[in-house]
Chains A and B, each alone.
Chain A
Amino acid sequence: MQYKSITKEEWDKALEQLLSLHDVFASVTSEFGQDYEPIRPASISGITYNKPRPATSLKNFFLPVRENVTGVRASEKPRIIIGIPNCDIEGLSLLDEIYLDKDFNDPFYRKRRENTLLVASDCFGIAEHCHCLSYGIKPWSSGIADLAVISLNGTIILRVISEKGEDFIKKIPVSSSSVVQDMLTAVEKEHSSTEVLLTEANKGLPDYNETGRIVREAKKGIWEKYSAKCVSCGACATICPTCTCFLLIDKPGFEKVKQLDACQYPGFERVAGGEDSLSDLHNRFRNRYMCKYVWKPQKFQSVACTGCGRCIEACIGKINKNELFMEFV
Chain B
Amino acid sequence: MQVDKNIYKPLKAKLTEVIDESPLIKTFVLVPEEDFAFKTGQFIELSVDGIGEAPFTPSSSPVITDKLEVTVMKTGYVTEFMHNLKPGVYMGIRGPYGRGYPVENFFGKEVLILGGGCGLAPIRSLLYALEHIQDKLEKVILCYGSKTAADCIYKPLFNRLNQIEKFTAYRTVDKPEEGWDGSVGVATTLLDKVKVNISNSVAVICGPPVMMKFGTIRILEMGYRDEQIYLSMEKNMSCGLGKCGHCMMGEFFVCKDGPVFTYNELKYTPDIWK
- Contacts A253-B50, A271-B236, A295-B251; A70 near B243 (Cβ below 8 A): no
The answer to whether A98 has its CB under 8 Å from any CB of chain B is yes
Inside 8 A of A251's CB, which chain B residues have their CB? 50
Q: Are B248 and A291 in contact (CB under 8 A)?
A: yes
Contact of B8 among A248, A276, A298 (CB under 8 A): A248
Across the interface, do B49 and A250 meet the contact criterion of CB distance under 8 Å? yes
Given the known interface contacts A245-B245, A247-B244, A295-B248, the answer about A254 and B10 at a Cβ–Cβ threshold of 8 Å is yes
Contact B236 A269, beta carbon cutoff 8 Å:
yes
Contacts of B54 in A (CB 8 A): 272
A99 at the binding interface (Cβ < 8 Å): yes
In-complex Cβ contact of B235 among A249, A261, A269 (8 A): A269
**Residue contact B274 to A250, C-beta cutoff 8 Å:** no
Which range holds the interface residue count of chain A? 35 or more
B251 contacts A277, C-beta separation under 8 Å: no
Chain A binding surface, main DSSP class = loop
CB pair A102 B7 closer than 8 Å: no
Contacts of A98 in B (CB 8 A): 242-243
Q: A248 CA to B244 CA in the complex, in Å? A: 8
Using a Cβ cutoff of 8 Å, how many contacts connect chains A and B?
111
The answer for the CA separation of A81 and B211 in the assembled complex, in Å, is 53
Residue among B2, B12, B274 with most chain A CB within 10 A: B274
Q: Does A172 lie at the interface of the complex (its beta carbon under 8 Å from any beta carbon of B)?
A: no
Most buried by A among B245, B247, B250: B245
**In the complex, per-residue mask of B1-38: 1 if CB is within 8 Å of any chain A CB, else 0:** 11111111110100000000000000000000000000
24 residue pairs of the A-B complex, CB under 8 angstroms, read A70-B8, A70-B10, A105-B1, A105-B7, A107-B4, A110-B3, A246-B243, A246-B244, A246-B245, A247-B244, A253-B50, A254-B10, A256-B10, A269-B247, A270-B236, A271-B235, A272-B76, A272-B78, A273-B75, A273-B76, A275-B274, A277-B274, A295-B251, A299-B251
B45-77 contacts to A, CB under 8 A, are 47-54, 75-77
Residue pair A106, B235 in contact (C-beta under 8 Å): no
Residue A263 contacts which of B75, B239, B245, B256 (CB distance < 8 angstroms)? B245
A residues contacting B by CB (< 8 A) are 69-70, 98-99, 101-107, 110, 244-254, 256, 258, 261, 263, 268-273, 275-277, 291, 294-296, 298-299
A256 to B5, CA, bound (A): 15
B251 lies within 8 A of A271 (CB): no
Beyond A103-B256, A271-B234, A275-B274, whether A248 also contacts B239 by CB under 8 A is yes
Q: Does the CB pair A69–B10 fall under 8 Å? A: no
Q: Which residues of A contact B251 (CB under 8 A)?
A: 294-296, 298-299
Which residues of chain A are near B79, meaning CB under 8 Å?
A: 272
Q: Which residues of B contact A253 (CB under 8 A)?
A: 49-50
Kindly state the separation between the CA atoms of A105 and B1 in the bound complex, as whole angstroms.
7
